[in-house]
Structure 1
Amino acid sequence: MTSQGTDLARAAAFDLFQTQTATQFDHMAARLDAGMIEGASWRLSCPIDEIKGAEALAAAFWRPLRHSFPDFERQDDIVLAGEFRDSAWVASTGHFIGTFERDWLGIPANRQATYIRYGEILKIENDRIAGGHMILDIVGVARQAGVDLVPRGLGAELLTPAPVTHDGVRHSSGPDTESRKSLLLVEAMIGGLMQYDRKTLSSMEQERFWHPDMMWYGPSGIGVTRGLKGFQTYHQKPFLDFIPDRVGGNHVARIGDGNYVASGGWPSINATSSGAPWISTPIPAGKRITMRVMDFWRREGDLLRENWVFIDIPDVFRQFSIDVFAPLRREER
């Protein structure tokens, strides 16, 4: 696919972003339908999950969201495009922001400005949306409303920033050589992760891939870390204690665009629980699970400097019959 084709896909995605913000929610289905192929499948975070078609997407997701946040606005921090398995893809991350006026997903409205962190990957065919994957930091939304769906993480709970370089929203394709360099670095880093010997973190040799001042922006419930040591202490070690045999899953796309890379899967990870706790929650051993994950990376020179990470934490707990939304339903009674 040429860079012109990729940029046409990018333009289709920007049209969708405009629809999400500018359209009155009563007209959302018609506007979505105009930009989507018939029956396009959407996969969203638990408890929304999989949806097919524009009307269902509007009814199950966009209308309730816009009803709860009537002054809704989309603020993109990263938008990149590329080709994966002969298809065009556009990946983006940032925040939805609005005043939380009405309850959403059972989370009580606090009538305060609220940020909804998102990661999204769209498949584009003939300049129309053919499908999408979106992970929302719903745990973070609840936290802002004063509700802890899961225990607080070991990392810092912060408002995740845009790239340090403020160049993440790309309106045209980066040089092929730079895009390829970024993609190869990420793939080498992931290859290192797969060398884990289940004994020492050093077996993965991650210092070869990460900048000394790396920033890892994890979801609420895990948090933000700085430097390789912080990443290993506050996320990687507890994560690998929890699922030491994790392997890759069904990656829907992995694309490079200049010095940025995005990757996501449904699921991204297959694993078996060890019996170690995760996010300060007791977890039984021997359970086969999947994990929905989405990553965005920024390369600086020959090293990875920033990593924005999304994990569908409610879906992980659901697989252990832990319903993180149950306390909200009890409060409604």
Structure 2
Amino acid sequence: MQDLQSAKQLVQAFHANLEVPDADPADVLRTHCAETLTWHGFHPFNEIKGPENVARAFWKPLGRSLTSLQRRQDIFFAGHSEIGGFAETWVVSMGHLMGLFDAPLAGIPPTGKIAMLRYCEFHRVAEGRIAETAMFFDLPHLMEQAGLHPFPGQTAQHLVQPGPRSHDGLLFAPQPAREGETTLALINSMIANLGQWNSGLSLEDELRLDWAENMLWWGPTGIGATYTIPRYAQQHSGPFRAAFSERSKTSHVARLAEGHYAGFFGWPNFSARLTGPFMGLPATGETGEFRVIDIYRREGDKIAENWIFIDLLHFWKGQGVDILAQLPQNDPA
């Protein structure tokens, strides 16, 4: 099992080398990643195998699109994943990738102006190399910055999202083991209480079991951010539950905590059938899968903040709605 501090140092070096001027991403990935690297990215990048392929398909196009690329990191922590019995070591990074939007990315037209792409990544470190990565990024957020509005029915607020209110999310130093255990136990309680939508409590009282009254929920573009339990219930959780049925059980690839921070991701997290309108689009009756990353900050014995990344482009494509194909430059008219 990889030591947490050495795993953090590996990922920090990887990040730093990606930002070296004129660095070749393929060289950087070959240096820091295993030859058998598996990379999970949002649609249209999806799953990629091997460092060179990841560099060619994602990092090089990203660098051409967002020039003078800079990582603005808000949360950084590591842990041994509960999934699989704490045998795997993962390092988590979350924030924005910032640059000058000078060339199209995934068909999104450039602005020539500063742009910030929300991201969160999980890196599994084994034998001194990054062996697996989940790299999630909010492309609809970039669309909004380009003046496009792919989801007309957003129920909460679109924002360039800040880091933790406590400004303590960069856990470069070791953290007390007990704090991470407490945080992970709270996240597991929340999953058990919210995961199946059948507690018998009101939605607000169900949330109050694990969430602070003034919780902050930093959702993806297309859904938006919301604040306090009542507004979260009104602006996201309630509409989401009303739109879906036949929700599957939650399934995670990794779930870990360090200090007051925790996170998980699934590929997919769960599936559900769209039986009502969602995000301004009509019901399809089809089952779709949700690729999700959740990052949490614990304050005392409650969850105070939650940052969420959902591959909405993948979900809607599975429903027969190809958002990227509808972008202006892809319109044959």
Q: Into which bin does the TM-score normalised by the smaller protein fall? A: over 0.9
SS in 2 for 1:292: strand
Task: Please give the TM-score of this superposition, normalised by the length of structure 2.
Answer: 0.94
TM-score normalized by structure 1?
A: 0.94
Cα distance in 2 between the residues matched to 1:35 and 1:110: 33
Aligned to 2:5: 7
Partner residue of 1:284?
Answer: 284
Counterpart residue number, 2:267: 266
Code of the aligned partner of 1:54: P
Match of 2:61, SS state, is helix
Asked if 1:161 corresponds to 2:162, the answer is: yes
Greater Cα offset, 152-161 or 68-77: 152-161
String of CA shifts for 1:248-286, please: whole Å, max 9, x gaps. Answer: 34311111100100111101112222x20111101211x
Aligned-residue RMSD, C-alpha: 1.7
Unpaired segments ≥5 residues, structure 1: none
Aligned to 1:140, the other structure's residue is in SS state helix
For 1:150 and 1:312, how far apart are their aligned partners in 2? 13
Are 1:249 and 1:266, in contact at CA under 8 Å, matched by a contact in 2?
A: no
Contact 2:30 2:51 in 1 (8 A): yes
Query: Judging changes above 3 Å, is the alpha-carbon distance between structure 1 residues 19 and 152 closer, same or farther for their aligned structure 2 residues?
Result: farther
1:23–1:31: 8 Å Cα contact kept in structure 2? no
Deviation string 1:17-67 (CA, Å, 9 cap, x unpaired) is 112222525x21012111111120101000111111111111110111101
1:205 shift after superposition: 1.6
- 1:242 equivalent to 2:243? Answer yes
Distance 1:129 1:23 in 2: 22
Task: Give 2:79's match in structure 1, choosing from 57, 77, 82.
Answer: 82
User: Residues 263, 24 of structure 1: CA spacing in aligned structure 2 closer, same or farther, 3 A cutoff?
Assistant: same
Match of 1:31 in 2: 28
> Contact 1:150 / 1:324 at 8 angstroms: preserved in 2?
no
Q: What is the alpha-carbon distance in structure 1 between the residues aligned to residue 200 and residue 111 of structure 2?
A: 45
Partner residue in 2 for 1:132? 133
Structure 2 gap segments, 5+ residues each:
none
Report the secondary structure of 2:296's partner residue. Answer: strand
Residue 57 of structure 1: aligned partner: 54
Structure 2 residue aligned with 1:308: 307
Identity %: 31
Deviations 1:161-213 (A, max 9, x none): 01011110111232111100000001101111135239864387211211111
Partner in structure 2 of residue 21 of structure 1: 19
Q: Does 1:330 align with 2:319?
A: no
Q: Distance in 2 between matches of 1:211 and 1:193?
A: 15
The letter for the 2-side match of 1:278 is F
**Aligned residue pairs, count:** 328
Moved more, 191-200 or 70-79: 191-200
The CA deviation at 1:244 is 3.1
